[in-house]
Structure 1
């Protein structure tokens, strides 16, 4: 690996709740373990120190493997903005940066999510190979975040997540 390239993923979602409810779901440990990089049933660890310079960690156990996500808080503006680093050390040590901005709407709120994705670049990649890798990383991250945001929406609007449990929320 000779260097790193970056790509940016921007996603927007609306919620039928106040910005504070969505903001809290990003920082409240009990809520995080239900949707952020994990599901309540597969979560092994959720640790969180929600202050600038504080760290967070989630370990999810799926298909016999542990997946660990960690980061550090860079900026916290209650109910409006959250910025933090994100890495999954089992894949690589690169730190991505995630920014979540919340805007109150007449009814509910809008969340703008920005993920600066760092992609390790192979020495022999051509320009088209690099563009393909960046595109694939962006698409894979978008797919994963989209699934998480479905859970986040359900959690903040109803208090629980039924998906992917086929309606069973025992």
Structure 2
């Protein structure tokens, strides 16, 4: 039996901003430091090399503890698509893939976000434990992204993220 499984998370959001602005929100450190795995008040590091093969890193400090998110850019098609890896090394060796598709629509931008979530198995797990873990990872990841995407929407549409950490 494999030592991990994968479950896709697909989310759609509409932003009253043009695709170029949404694209930049994923790549410009001064913008993503306010919403992507961090908040303006708790962000410690927000750096990237926005090129295929380039890396990105965010460090967020919560309750005196640093949380580090890192990855590499696999595909950049301005302003339509970003494919990148996502890792949190303090929790897992797994590298998830994130796919961000941005479509120009009358309301602004329709974002389709996909994360292929890697779920590690614990020794001795059977099918029911694996299914339960897949659902828990999916649901908790969706909850986290939902909060971030609310912050992104507010940031794009009002200039401020109400979720300041």
Q: TM-score, normalised by structure 2?
A: 0.97
Distance 1:43 1:13 in 2: 24
Deviation at 1:108, TM superposition (A): 0.6
User: 1:33-72 deviations in whole A, cap 9, x for unaligned?
Assistant: 0000000100011111100000000000001210000000
Deviation at 1:162, TM superposition (A): 2.3
Unaligned runs of 5+ in 1: 166-170
Q: Name 1:108's counterpart in structure 2.
A: 108
Q: Name 2:42's counterpart in structure 1.
A: 42
Distance 1:58 1:79 in 2: 22
**Correspondence 1:88 to 2:111:** no
Aligned residues: 165
Q: Name 2:12's counterpart in structure 1.
A: 12
Q: Name 1:137's counterpart in structure 2.
A: 137
Distance 2:153 2:104 in 1: 15
Distance 1:8 1:107 in 2: 27
Runs (4+) off by over 3 Å: none
Q: Name 1:64's counterpart in structure 2.
A: 64
**Correspondence 1:54 to 2:51:** no
User: 1:66-101 deviations in whole A, cap 9, x for unaligned?
Assistant: 000000000000010000000000101100000000
Distance 2:163 2:90 in 1: 26
Q: Name 1:29's counterpart in structure 2.
A: 29
Residue aligned with 1:123, SS? coil
Distance 2:6 2:123 in 1: 15
**Pairing 1:148-159 to 2, within 5 Å after superposition:** 148-159=148-159
**Pairing 1:116-127 to 2, within 5 Å after superposition:** 116-127=116-127
Unaligned runs of 5+ in 2: none
Deviation at 1:164, TM superposition (A): 4.9
Residue aligned with 1:112, SS? strand
Deviation at 1:141, TM superposition (A): 0.4
Aligned Cα root-mean-square deviation (Å): 1.3
